[in-house]
Amino acid sequence: MKRTAITFGLAATLCGCSSELDINAPYKDITIVYGLLDSRDPIQFIKVNKAFLGEGDAYVFAQIPDSNEWGDAVGYARVHRKLNGQVVATFDLRDTLITNSEPGDFYSPYQRLYYFEDPFRTTIQEGGSSTTLYLDKDSEYELELNVKDQIIRATTDIIDDFRYLGPDPDVTHRVELMFQNSYGTFELNWRSGIHGKRYVASYRFNYREVRGTEVSDIRSFTIRLGTSVSDDSGETESMYATMDGQSFFNAIASHVPTDPTVTARRFVGLDFLVSAANDEFHTYLTLDEPVTGIIEDRPEYTNVENGYGLFGSRYTKPLIGKALSSNTMAELADGSITSHLNFCTEHPLDVNSSFYCP
């Protein structure tokens, strides 16, 4: 949020010229809201803060709760579930202190978050098992806050579940990235869900390290494959992302460190992750992307009434534990790019493979 207020005092006829420049605007109550609802999470968290400005270092102010939190000034905080414009359920927001957040410049040593839990439940079938979703995809969720007698509101829809297409969701369908002596390309296919606007596809490579008789916990790294944006028709559509074979092996060589104490590395499986953002979240991300043209100024985006920030929804659909094809596994174990990493496989589909870990 950009806020600039410059006041020039010019009273030359009375007291002469002043060289002082005041860059701080008069204090104003401004509420900042960030919340991304996710139907795969049983508990939804929302961050509510106040903007702060003063003489001195802003990073120092950020460590002072009184500077960035409303505290008792929040009269009430709740979320309404609305179906066809009518409120069908209301959830009071409760607050909690998060003390184990990752290191950063803002909001330490703790952060105050607000949360609610919707008792709504639905079950979907996924990869041969059932998964519970915790929000109603047919409803809208409206945030309502009372901060110092000012009402702050924001509304979001919920991204519907979507599905992978073709043979991709079949656990026995292997990822083929090596065709005899040449690198190949794997294509991941899915169909968008209602209210999903932007889709980001990634893969996660999972392995264990062996040192003597000790086998480590699973280690992993994640690589983004690409981004797709749906049209505005409101209908589902086919989407895809491609995975290049040579780039795959180069990524492994870059992310798996060379370590002479490691006697072997056991390939566990390859996960695919497609994450979706709804229209509000997509717009926010678009305006936050690096400027590539000659126009540098952009409009600030917020969908929070009487405040600033973002209230939207997201959804990540995983595809867990894919195996590599025999040619791809052979390249991982013996190929010129990754042979020095001593890979074998412990994937359950590879028990008869010559590269199965002893």
Task: Supply the DSSP string of 252-311, one letter for each residue.
Answer: HHHHS---TT--EEEEEEEEEEEEEE-HHHHHHHHHHSPP-SS----------BTSEEEE
pLDDT at residue 232, rounded to an integer: 66
Distance CA(34)–CA(152), nearest Å, equals 12
Q: What is the pLDDT of residues 166-189, one digit of tens each?
A: 999 998 999 999 988 899 999 999
pLDDT at residue 51, rounded to an integer: 82
- The CATH code of the domain at 28-158 is 2.60.40
Q: Work out whether the CA dihedral 299, 304, 310, 316 comes out positive or negative.
A: negative
What lies within 8 Å, CB to CB, of 68 at 6+ separation is: 49, 50, 52, 61, 62, 106, 107
Tally Cβ neighbours within 10 Å of residue 187.
11
Helix, strand or coil for residue 229? Answer: strand
Mean pLDDT score, 290-307: 77
pLDDT at residue 12, rounded to an integer: 35
Could you give the count of Cα atoms lying within 13 Å of 339 in the half-sphere of its Cβ? 5
Where b means 16+ CB within 10 Å and e means fewer, 91-111 reads bebeeeeeeeeeeeeebeeeb
Packing angle between helix 245-255 and helix 326-334, nearest 10 degrees?
A: 40
Contact at 8 Å (CB) between 146 and 157?
no
What lies within 8 Å, CB to CB, of 328 at 6+ separation is: 174, 175, 176, 177, 178, 245
Sheet of 163-164: strands edge to edge?
A: 163-164, 185-191, 238-244
pTM attached to this predicted model = 0.86
What residue ranges do the domains of the chain occupy? 28-158, 163-276+318-350
Q: What is the pLDDT of residues 205-228, one digit of tens each?
A: 999 999 999 999 999 999 999 999
Single out the residue of 317, 286, 17 nearest to residue 168, CA to CA.
317
Mean pLDDT score, 74-88: 95
Contact at 8 Å (CB) between 102 and 110?
no
**Cis before 348 (ω within 30):** no
Burial group, residue 86, by CB count within 10 angstroms (0-12, 13-18, 19+): exposed
Name the pairing type of β-strands 264-277 and 308-322: antiparallel
E strand or H helix at 249: helix 245-255
Mean pLDDT score, 34-39: 97
Single out the residue of 271, 105, 146 nearest to residue 201, CA to CA.
271
Residue 22: pLDDT over 60: no
pLDDT at residue 236, rounded to an integer: 83
Residue 117: pLDDT over 90: yes
- Going by pLDDT thresholds of 50, 70 and 90, the confidence category of residue 9 is very low
E strand or H helix at 214: strand 214-215
Distance CA(208)–CA(229), nearest Å, equals 35
pLDDT at residue 60, rounded to an integer: 72
pLDDT at residue 70, rounded to an integer: 86
Name the pairing type of β-strands 185-191 and 163-164: antiparallel
pLDDT at residue 57, rounded to an integer: 73
- Going by pLDDT thresholds of 50, 70 and 90, the confidence category of residue 50 is confident
Residue 238: pLDDT over 90: yes
Any idea what the Cα angle at residue 46 is, between residues 56 and 233, rounded to 5°? 115
pLDDT at residue 91, rounded to an integer: 98
Burial group, residue 203, by CB count within 10 angstroms (0-12, 13-18, 19+): buried
